[in-house]
């Protein structure tokens, strides 16, 4: 008999450890010898965390949100048999929020014990690698191209095409680098996989290694994720002990040091090499001259963690999901002011409105919706009128927005978009790597100009100045930090001009 | 069964060290453990910060020599990254997320509340040396905004009452 209590850091942040301890205490005080507590990842229904599940003959039954104080009562009510209680949510798989999803990349997350290799394998793990091992590198690359998988780190570049370049570049050493810097506010999918299903990333990186002829991988994890870092490091040790990593392909786990720019792939490579995280000019592409000057695949964690299911089920299976040129599923991360914020893995094409209302349940504060920022700090702010935009790379680009890593941050009517635009400029100034003048200096000027606009000084002229600054950033930036900061700024001005027109005290 | 994380288990990545006194011998032990890694500089700086709670300027020559880098290069790396502190911090590190998701749930008010309570601004250490207060741009706990991290432990849906409780409990530790 098993009880599941998540060890995902969001679950921990609302007391999952205390709940686990209370449950263990209750098990021992009742002398139940056949009950095991498993610390699983999160199902991603965060408003229900800590979400406790028990295994029953009917399937797993969920209770949540559980507090330590209610544990005795739950045992008395017959939680171990999946009996009713005010906190009982029924069969986990039948919870509509989960049932309406298409969980491919997240097929196991929240179900298995993240650090149990046997659990991983029992739930379909390593099937993709098994098949990839029977294929030539060219065939692996071709399968990845055919799947339609595009990079989930932000730019949406076809993963197979990137791999093809690395495969075709001869070198004595090649690398697979997983970008787990996940700096965008509103995103946590990488973290959930590291904490909830780390072996899927290891498997994906191993397949990538086979595809391009790389024998060494690195996972670069942001330091804001201490739990993810530890789980990942432990998972690599376990995989190595079991012979899944070794001389043919091995992985080293590295820690970032609190720089948003190190999510940009060339800055990340500099950082891995032990340098300041400054962006490299390109060409050369990292695929040709990457880590330590060698051909390198740099992929987002979700891109790599999606590879195993593509090889397990086939490229066609994967590409059958989605719309237009956005194939497969998007791991939408609902965040901010929402009642039901959580992970929604769905085929591309869900509209923002469906994400925010059908899944997210509207604002948590109960106040009217006002704005949504999709794609992290460099993403545009959209008003109500754009909520019918489908989550699809091209549809978003058409509306001057971006999907980025799939974060959706919702704001109610208390938001001030001039403040948000100011923050975008401030953030650019704080995180600039310093290489380009517009990004390093222009961003601080941007903050000042917005302050003047808000203070009502020469409003028309300063709005024009702000626009000019944005154009300079667009044209004069080596990377998208400077180059895309105009997105949140200009979208705020364009869609919410009233916030720049009222005099503030 | 493995319980990977137990409440109260301290996480070493950010922590104020139990023995913050600079000691070149201890520093060299950590440097030697890691110096043969490819791209060893960040792992070494993290190890030093774990050992002492900060990276002492006196570490620069030791690291430079071990990695065959100039002092300026090592210094340049230490100052580039927000994580590395060059001075010992408070006994506790409180990081408050002030990125967009937490903004949407009122983190700016939470920051003002904490700054008032501790009489220290973001980036500062309290006069009694108990807390270092730092802004952080996303903790990946955006479904439960506003979020903070205290000594490497995450907290979500943090109200003023909750943060008061966290601060008061940490102070008594
Ligand atoms: C400022 C900036 C920050 C970025 N941050 C991340 C990040 O945190 N994670 C990520 O995967 N990609 C990030 N990217 C995108 C990467 O540069 C790169 O496109 C990505 O890692 C490639 O992997 P993919 O093709 O699988 O998406 C960032 C880009 C920029 C310009
Ligand atoms: S745009 Fe900014 S972050 Fe990007 S390379 Fe230039 S200075 Fe660095």
Q: Which CATH code for domain B1-88?
A: 1.10.10.1590
A427 in contact with B at a CB cutoff of 8 Å? yes
Task: Output phi, psi for B23, to 5 deg.
Answer: -150, 110
Chain B residue nearest residue A17, CA to CA: B7
Give the B window 19-78 contacts with A, CB below 8 Å: 37-43, 45-46, 67, 73, 76-77
Residues B27-67 pLDDT 10s: 999 999 999 999 999 999 999 999 999 999 999 999 999 99
At B77 the pLDDT is: 98
Peptide bond before A50: cis, by omega within 30 degrees of 0?
yes
Indicate whether B5 pLDDT > 90.
no
Find residues 110-139 of chain A whose CB sits inside 8 Å of chain B: 114-115
Q: Which residues line ligand 1 (CB under 6 A)?
A: A 151-155, 157, 159, 179, 181-183, 261, 263-265, 298-300, 303, 479-481
Q: How far apart are CA B29 and CA B156, in angstroms?
A: 37
Domain B1-88 and domain B92-171 have a common topology: no
Reported as type and span, the H/E element at residue A96 is helix A96-99
The CATH topology of domain B92-171 is Glutaredoxin (3.40.30)
* Contacts B155 to A, Cβ<8 Å: 13-14
**Superfamily classification of domain A2-99:** Glutaredoxin (3.40.30.10)
Ligand 2 pocket, residue A495 CB under 6 Å: no
Please tell me the distance between residue A262's alpha carbon and the centre of ligand 1 in angstroms. 9
Rounded distance between C-alpha atoms, residue A484 and residue A482, angstroms: 6
Which chain B residue's Cα is nearest to A255?
B43
Crossing angle (nearest 10°) for helices B59-67 and B24-34: 30
* Pair type for strands A216-221 and A250-255: parallel
What are the Cα distances from residue B33, in Å, to B28, B48, B61? 8, 11, 17
Considering only CA atoms, which residue is closest to atom 10 of ligand 1?
Answer: A153
CATH (one of 1.20.1440.230, 3.40.50.970, 2.60.40.1890, 3.30.43.10) for A417-501: 1.20.1440.230
Residue B12 has pLDDT above 50, yes or no: no
Average pLDDT, whole number, for chain B?
90
pLDDT in tens, chain A (505 residues): 999 999 999 999 999 999 999 999 999 999 999 999 999 999 999 999 999 999 999 999 999 999 999 999 999 999 999 999 999 999 999 999 999 999 999 999 999 999 999 999 999 999 999 999 999 999 999 999 999 999 999 999 999 999 999 999 999 999 999 999 999 999 999 999 999 999 999 999 999 999 999 999 999 999 999 999 999 999 999 999 999 999 999 999 999 999 999 999 999 999 999 999 999 999 999 999 999 999 999 999 999 999 999 999 999 999 999 999 999 999 999 999 999 999 999 999 999 999 999 999 999 999 999 999 999 999 999 999 999 999 999 999 999 999 999 999 999 999 999 999 999 999 999 999 999 999 999 999 999 999 999 999 999 999 999 999 999 999 999 999 999 999 999 999 999 999 998 765 4
| Letter string b/e over residues A166-195, b meaning 16 or more CB atoms within 10 A of that residue's CB | bbebebeebbbbbbbbbbbbbbbbbbbbbb
The pLDDT assigned to B20 comes to 77
Q: Are strands A329-336 and B131-136 parallel, antiparallel or unpaired?
A: unpaired
Grouping H, G, I as helix, E, B as strand and the rest as coil, residue A158 is strand
What pLDDT, on a 0 to 100 scale, did the predictor assign at position A288? 98
Dig out the tokens for A342 from the structure: 């959580």
Closest-approaching ligand to the CA atom of A190: 1
What is the pairing mode between strands A296-300 and A175-180? parallel
Query: Domain coordinates of chain A in residue numbers?
Result: 2-99, 117-319, 322-412, 417-501
Q: In what order do the strands lie in the sheet with A381-382?
A: A343-347, A329-336, A407-412, A369-374, A381-382
- DSSP result, B11-36: PTTTPPPS--S--HHHHHHHHHHHTT
What length is written for chain A? 505
Integer CA distances (angstroms), A465 to A392, A421, A459, in order: 33, 14, 10
Chain A positions in Cβ-Cβ contact with residue B4 (cut-off 8 Å): 7, 39, 114-115, 230-231, 234
Residue A490 touches chain B, beta carbons under 8 Å: no
Could you tell me which residue, A478 or B9, shows the higher pLDDT? Answer: A478
Cβ contact (<8 Å) for A336 and B7? no
Is the predicted pLDDT of residue B2 greater than 50, yes or no? no
The first and second tokens of residue A73, run together, are 């009562």
Residue of B45, B143, B149 lying closest to A335 (CB–CB): B143
Of the residues B6, B8, B50, B101, the best mutation for testing chain A's interface (the one with the most A CB atoms within 10 Å of its CB) is: B101
Q: Say yes or no: B173 contacts chain A, CB-CB below 8 A.
A: no
**Per CATH, which fold does A322-412 belong to?**
Ubiquitin-like (UB roll) (3.10.20)
Sorted by sequence, the CB contacts under 8 Å of residue A116 that are 6+ apart come out as: none
- Rg (Cα) of chain A, in Å, rounded? 23
Residues contacting A59, CB < 8 A, separation 6+: A91, A92, A93
- Those of residues 140-169 in B touching chain A at CB distance below 8 A are 140-145, 147, 149, 152-157
Residue bearing the CA closest to ligand 2, atom 6 = A436
Chain B residues with beta carbon closer than 8 angstroms to that of A114: 4
Residue B18: the pLDDT is 63
Is residue B6 predicted with pLDDT exceeding 90?
no
Res. B8 pLDDT band, cuts 50 70 90: very low
- Are A234 and B4 in contact (CB < 8 Å)? yes
Give pLDDT, residue A464.
Answer: 96
> Hey, are the CB atoms on A259 and B82 less than 8 Å from each other?
yes
Give the pLDDT score at B11: 42
Taking the CA of residue A150 as reference, the ligand 1 atom at the shortest distance is: 25
Q: Please state the φ and ψ torsions of residue A308, each to the nearest 5 degrees.
A: -55, -40
Strand-strand pairing, A369-374 and A2-4: unpaired
Whether residues A412 and B40 touch (CB distance < 8 A) is answered with no
Closest CA to A39 of B7, B10, B4: B4
Between CA A332 and CA A255 the distance in angstroms is: 25
> What ipTM was estimated for this complex?
0.95
In chain B, residues with a C-beta closer than 8 Å to the C-beta of A193 are: none
Q: How far apart are CA A393 and CA A313, in angstroms?
A: 24
What is the reported pTM? Answer: 0.96
d(CA A42, CA A240): 25
The residue to mutate among A175, A212, A265, having the most atoms of ligand 1 within 8 angstroms of its beta carbon, is A265
Best residue among A278, A474, A481 to mutate for probing ligand 2, ranked by most atoms within 8 Å of CB: A481
Pick the residue whose CA is nearest to atom 30 on ligand 1: A264
CATH topology of domain A117-319: Rossmann fold (3.40.50)
Domain extents in chain B? 1-88, 92-171
Let me know: does A187 contact A379? Beta carbons within 8 Å: no
- Tell how strand B92-97 and strand B148-150 pair up: antiparallel
**Among chain A residues, CA nearest to B150:** A13
Residues of chain B with Cβ-Cβ distance to A360 below 8 Å are none
Distance, CA of B5 to chain centre? 19
| Alpha-carbon span B1 to A427, nearest angstrom | 43
How big is the CA angle at B61 (ends B57 and B66), to the nearest 5 degrees?
130
The DSSP output letter for B159 is -
Long-range contact list for A441-449, CB < 8 A, 24+ apart?
A442/A469, A442/A472, A442/A473, A442/A476, A442/A482, A443/A473, A443/A482, A443/A485, A445/A469, A446/A422, A446/A470, A446/A473, A446/A485, A446/A489, A447/A422
Where helices occur in A104-250 by DSSP H, the ranges are 117-122, 127-132, 137-147, 159-168, 189-196, 198-212, 226-241
Measured CA to CA in angstroms, residue A251 lies from A202, A214, A239, A304 at distances of 8, 11, 10, 13
Does residue B1 have a pLDDT over 70?
Answer: no
CA of A404 to the centre of ligand 1 (A): 9
Distance CA A323, CA A326 (A): 5
Q: Are B168 and A361 in contact (CB under 8 A)?
A: no
Closest CA to B10 of B92, B81, B121: B92
- In angstroms, the Cα distances linking A462 to A426, A466, A468, B6 are 17, 6, 10, 54
- Give residue A504's pLDDT: 56
* Phi/psi at A381 (5° precision): -90, 125
If one counts every other C-beta atom within 10 angstroms of the C-beta of residue A439, the result is 26
């Amino acid at each position: 008999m098993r009880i599941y209590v998540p060890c995902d850091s969001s679950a921990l942040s609302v007391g999952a450890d205390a709940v686990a301890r209370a449950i263990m205490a209750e098990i021992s005080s009742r002398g139940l010898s056949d009950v095991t507590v498993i610390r699983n990842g999160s199902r991603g229904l965060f408003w229900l965390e800590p979400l406790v599940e028990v295994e029953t003959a009917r399937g797993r039954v969920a209770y949540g949100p559980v507090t330590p104080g209610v544990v005795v009562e739950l045992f008395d009510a017959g939680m171990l048999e999946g009996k009713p209680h005010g906190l009982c949510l029924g069969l986990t798989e039948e919870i509509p929020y989960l049932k309406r999803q298409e969980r491919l990349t997240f097929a196991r997350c929240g179900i298995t014990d993240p650090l149990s290799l046997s659990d991983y394998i029992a739930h379909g793990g390593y099937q993709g690698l098994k098949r990839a091992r029977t294929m030539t590198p060219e065939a692996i690359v071709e399968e990845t191209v055919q799947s339609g998988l595009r990079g989930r780190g932000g730019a949406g570049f076809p993963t197979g095409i990137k791999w093809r370049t690395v495969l075709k570049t001869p070198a004595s050493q090649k690398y697979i680098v997983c970008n787990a810097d996940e700096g965008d506010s509103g995103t946590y999918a990488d973290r959930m996989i590291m904490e909830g299903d780390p072996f899927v990333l290891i498997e994906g990186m191993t397949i990538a290694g086979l595809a391009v002829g790389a024998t060494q991988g690195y996972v670069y994890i942001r330091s804001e994720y201490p739990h993810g870092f530890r789980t990942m490091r432990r998972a690599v040790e376990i995989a190595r002990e079991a012979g899944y990593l070794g001389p043919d392909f091995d992985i080293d786990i590295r820690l970032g040091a609190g720089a948003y720019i190190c999510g940009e792939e060339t800055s990340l490579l500099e950082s891995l090499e032990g340098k300041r995280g400054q962006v490299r000019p390109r060409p050369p592409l990292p695929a040709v001259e990457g880590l330590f000057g060698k051909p390198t695949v740099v992929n987002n964690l979700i891109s790599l963690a999606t590879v195993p299911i593509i090889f397990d089920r086939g490229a066609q299976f994967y590409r059958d999901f989605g719309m237009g040129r956005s194939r497969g599923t998007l791991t939408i991360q609902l965040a901010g002011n929402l009642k039901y914020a959580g992970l929604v893995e769905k085929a591309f094409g869900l509209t923002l409105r469906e994400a925010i209302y059908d899944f997210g349940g509207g604002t948590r504060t109960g106040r009217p919706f006002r704005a949504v920022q999709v794609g992290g700090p460099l993403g545009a702010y959209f008003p109500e009128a754009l909520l019918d935009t489908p989550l699809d790379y091209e549809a978003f680009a058409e509306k001057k927005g971006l999907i980025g890593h799939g974060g959706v941050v919702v704001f109610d009517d208390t938001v001030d978009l001039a403040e948000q635009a100011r923050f975008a400029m401030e953030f650019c100034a704080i995180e600039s790597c310093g290489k380009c003048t517009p990004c390093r200096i222009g961003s601080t000027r941007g903050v000042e100009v917005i302050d003047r606009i808000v203070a009502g000084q020469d409003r028309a002229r300063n709005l024009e100045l702000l626009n000019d600054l944005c154009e300079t950033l667009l044209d004069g930036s080596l990377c998208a930090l400077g180059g895309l900061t105009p997105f949140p700024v200009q979208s705020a001005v364009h869609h919410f001009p009233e916030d720049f027109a009222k005099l503030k005290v | 069964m493995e319980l990977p994380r137990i409440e109260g288990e301290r996480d070493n990545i950010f922590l104020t060290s139990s023995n913050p006194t600079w000691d070149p011998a201890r520093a060299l032990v950590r440097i030697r453990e890691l110096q043969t890694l490819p791209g060893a500089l960040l792992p070494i700086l993290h190890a030093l910060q774990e050992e002492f709670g900060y990276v002492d300027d006196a570490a620069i020559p030791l690291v430079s020599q071990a990695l065959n880098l100039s002092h300026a290069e090592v210094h340049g790396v230490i100052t580039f990254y927000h994580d590395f502190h060059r001075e010992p911090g408070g006994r506790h590190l409180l990081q408050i997320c002030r990125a967009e998701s937490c903004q949407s749930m009122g983190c700016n008010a939470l920051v003002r509340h904490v700054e008032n309570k501790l009489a220290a601004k973001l980036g500062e250490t309290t006069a009694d040396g108990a807390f270092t207060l730092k802004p952080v741009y996303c903790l990946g706990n955006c479904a439960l905004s506003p979020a903070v991290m205290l000594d490497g432990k995450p907290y979500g849906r943090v109200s003023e009452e909750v943060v008061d409780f966290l601060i008061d409990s940490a102070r008594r530790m």
